[in-house]
Every structure is written in structure tokens, then in C-alpha cells.
Structure 1
Amino acid sequence: MKNLGREDDARDVVQSSFEKLWINREQVDAARSKSYLFTIAYHQMIDHIRKSKRIQLRDDFREDAQVQHIPANNTRKLLEEALSRLGETQRSLIMLKDYEGYSYEEIGRITGLNESQVKVYLHRARLQLRDYIVKMENVL
């Protein structure tokens, strides 16, 4: 839900993930089913984000598109804006580690990265977040 922003989209991703788990239930070890499900959900989410970005870009370039004013001093919106500027992988890693509380090893299994890659990508993502959030023009 945090990465997709809309509850309906999140429900669709969860539904399709469970559907894929059900289809492959005979090949999936029961002890690893949770990890398998999160991996599927992660990949479904990435696919959904990529698809919606293509649609959104097309809508953004319409001639009648309006410029939206972002209210000042809204911490939540500032954080959401900062997160939206991250790449899909970095945003997902931030959400899995800092929001969901998964360990580096679990995140690595879900995303298909090794533990050191997870740490490096998380570090870089946090630096980008910090750099964006502490800029005065983003706060005012």
C-alpha cells in the first residue's frame, strides 16, 4: 500500500500474488511459502509501478494538464515526495527495512539481491532521502 499509494492497486497486487502462489503450490516448499509469496508480491508491485508510470507520463504531457501546488510544511507529503524520487528498488528496500522491519537477509531473499547489495542500496537511498528532505526549498 505504501509503495503503490492506492488501496485498490495494492489489493490487485496481493490478489495476483496469491493467485500465482496457488497456481505453483505443488512446486513451492511449504516452509518457504512466505518468502515465495513476498518475492512474487515484490515483482508484481514493480511491474504495476512500471505500468502505471507509463500511463501517468502520457497523462502528464497532455496540454491541458494543470500544475498542482503542494502545501507547505506538510511532513508526510514531503516524505512521500522524497520517497517518490527514489528508484523502484531503493523505495522498496526502504519500505521493507524501515517500514516493515525485515532483516537484510529477508529483504535479500524477497528482492533477489545479496545482503551486501541490500545494505549498499539502502545506504544510498537514505542519503538521497536526507539530501532531499534537508533542502530548505523543500521544507518551506
Structure 2
Amino acid sequence: MDQTALAATVAACEALIDTRYPDDSHHGAAAMLLKNGTILTGTAPDAFNPSVEVCHEIEPYCGAYRLDQRIIASVCLHREPGGRTIVLSPCGVCRERLAVHGPDVLVAVADREDPTIVVWKPLKDVHPTIG
């Protein structure tokens, strides 16, 4: 995988957080790299009832579907007050959604020693039922 494209995907995610949420509070976003090189980003809107909230990945995931493009990498980040940005591994539901794009989709997970460092893993390594 092209490391420059992966770094650009992370940078696009960070840029969305910074531009959409210029305050110093808890916020996150996601970015997905498509097979054609396009990077789609998204974030989750607030809802009065937390049970109907959606994850950050929904917007780029649906955009990839609309564009009929395969997702090849996905990252989700969360900025804490003070500016530290941590990597959020894809939840079980997002892993299931990404599975339709194949077991080799790269997903960002946090480094074991430092949760601010992105480690890219194939989906098949973090989803026990695909492969």
C-alpha cells in the first residue's frame, strides 16, 4: 500500500476535525481511501437521543457506495480537549460494513504503546470471521 496515500487519509481526517470543530472539545471524524485514490471524510452529527446517533464512518462509507468505489483503507480519529488525537479502532458494526470491500481493507488501529499513533492492519487481522 502506498504510504503517502495512507498518510494523506489520516491528514484529511485530522483536517476535518480541525475545520469542523475549531473549539477545544471532544470531537472526531473518519476518512476512507477509495480504490480510485479519492479520500472521503465524515463526522457524526449530534442527536437528542444517543440511541439514534451514527458513527463517523457512515458518511464516507455511504459516499463510497454512491460513487461505486471500493474502500481500501479507513481511519477514525478522536481529538481530546487539549489537542491530543487518538486512533479509534473500527467497531464491530463498521468492521461488518467494511467486510463487503474485502478482507484486505486496511483499518487504522492504535499502537499498543501510544494511542496517538496509527497502525494499519488488514481487516482480516481484526475481524475474526473474515479471511
Is TM > 0.5 for Structure 1 vs Structure 2?
no
Higher relative helix content: 1
Work out which structure has the larger RCO, using CA pairs closer than 8 Å and 6 or more positions apart in sequence.
1
Larger radius of gyration: 1
Q: What TM-score do you get using the length of structure 1 for normalisation?
A: 0.29
